[in-house]
Structure 1
């Protein structure tokens, strides 16, 4: 006669499945991620672990967002938001709000995106979550870049950069430096763009973030192309290609 595993064992299985699911996300294997995360979700619901259920709902929402299935992404993020509010989990609430903002952002619905980002930012400031505050500031900065509002973008990105430096978040610092480079690049201020891209590139190399290193190499290649320095542009494009 088979026995159901005890609660503790099932909880451990649920955690392991969630970890496997997020690893599949990192690997870009989204269908596998969904399959595993759905199993983790069923276990969390059966055990009544509401906070962890919200986390997994958020992870599933992130997969749908990456797949461009935005209505499904919103559905899962809104479920996560409702649970976090019900539990008084302010960190989880801010994460869900930020994620909902990102879905609107990806659909160029900038007014709605900004509204949700601002709500997330307010909570993250209130609870002192500096790393996630910087993430949301960066998101708002990028949103303004997309709209060509460069002075506002720079204001938010400089705030994000200051926080990332203060807390020693090298990955976050490099991301923001790259995005500030984008502002100057878009304004044809190529020496300044190169300055920020080179700073970002050095950090990406230092921490071994190959994907972002490739992205920044590509950006540097673009600057040299815009300047008409084609052999130099080709050199950076080829380095980016080797990584991608």
Structure 2
């Protein structure tokens, strides 16, 4: 959400809020997608086991094995930042799951497909995948999945700037979650309603919704959900210019995520802390956090997260007027964008670099 600004107590004239942070928060539906699999993968069982269903024909079994293998590969490709390859694997898996008539597996695949499309900024395709997943959940009367899919659609609509429609969609999800006594779904829905309030710049309401969401998430021991909501809370405090609570919320999210090896929320918390500390002139701390971020991205062997780290470094050095070092990091990010075959990201980075050099000249 572009409402991310800065926080109080220190008077600062120049505020560093990197573009990469805006995009991560705006497109942080991928954080919510992790919850979409919870109804099926609550015990973190191997995905092949999750999808296994006995078939009568050897052809059917062969198709299932191939489809399950493709979906496993797609998960790995997505985790490594290869969105285009993820899409290709998902589409082939979908063909096979359609062939054998496995609706639950199709729902899982559509959800992953939507994540990959969102990562590439292909929002029309992402919306189509989301709505197909919702149709499957309704056809199978899977109310628990409906809660999570509706939340993801609500997040998507929020990205598209349709806050009212997003709020209505998430309210529907909250109502279903309440009716079926799905505490986990209630926590997620309240957290997303906080996002809607924040988009409408009602930060006080957003903070209250996030705090309420935390109560539900802590009841279920949903540490990933708790860290996600803490990051949302940090966003709201940041937009409200409440420096102290901003750093406290992101810091708590980072500690919780690190303890649970929840790398997605850990990276997001680091990004928030980089923005917060930079805003009050604590550049040494910001660079220390970026060093941690880059090390984590390399540990995960996630080229896309490495790219984001390089871009954040570039933004921070540019903010300090160190254009030569900023240029070096932009160029490293551009190389990774080409490696990932992400032409849109490459063009954006080249544009940022060109504008910086023109300003320097």
Same fold (TM > 0.5)? yes
Match of 1:129 among 222, 227, 237: 222
Aligned to 1:216: 309
Pairs within 5 Å for 1:180-191: 180-191=273-284
Equivalent position to 2:187, from 90, 94, 98: 94
* Offset, 1:147: 2.2
Please, which runs of 5 or more residues in structure 2 have no aligned partner?
1-97, 338-344, 346-361
What are the superposed Cα offsets for residues 54-82 of structure 1, whole Å, 9 maximum, x if unpaired? 22222221221221211111111111110
Cα distance in 1, alignment partners of residues 176 and 268 from structure 2: 31
> Which residue number corresponds to residue 13 of structure 2?
none
TM-score, length basis structure 1:
0.86
Relative contact order (C-alpha < 8 Å, sep 6+): which is higher?
A: 2
Residue correspondence of structure 1 range 1-244 to structure 2 within 5 A: 9-242=102-335, 243=337, 244=345
Distance 1:225 1:21 in 2: 34
Task: Give the helix-richer structure, 1 or 2.
Answer: 1
TM-score w.r.t. the length of structure 2 is 0.60
Q: 2:110–2:132: 8 Å Cα contact kept in structure 1?
A: yes
Task: Quickly say closer, same or farther: Cα 1:13–1:132, change in 2 above 3 A.
Answer: closer
1:188 counterpart SS class: coil
Q: How far apart are 1:40 and its partner, in Å?
A: 3.4
Structure 1 unaligned blocks of 5 or more: none
In the alignment, the residues of structure 1 paired with residue 282 and residue 137 of structure 2 have an alpha-carbon distance, to the nearest angstrom, of 51
Deviation per CA, 1:84-125: give whole Å up to 9, x if none: 010000111111111111122233221121121111111111
For the 8 Å contact 1:225–1:233, the answer to whether it is kept is yes
| 1:91–1:200 distance in 2 versus 1, CA, 3 Å | same
C-alpha separation between the residues in 2 aligned to 1:230 and 1:22?
34
Does the CA contact (< 8 Å) of 2:203 and 2:239 recur in 1?
no
User: Aligned partners of 2:164, 2:121: CA distance in 1, in Å?
Assistant: 20
Shift in Å at residue 42 of structure 1?
3.2
Q: Decide whether the 8 Å contact of 1:138 with 1:176 is kept in 2.
A: yes
Q: Deviations over 1:183-221 (max 9, x none)?
A: 111111211111111111221232244444333323322
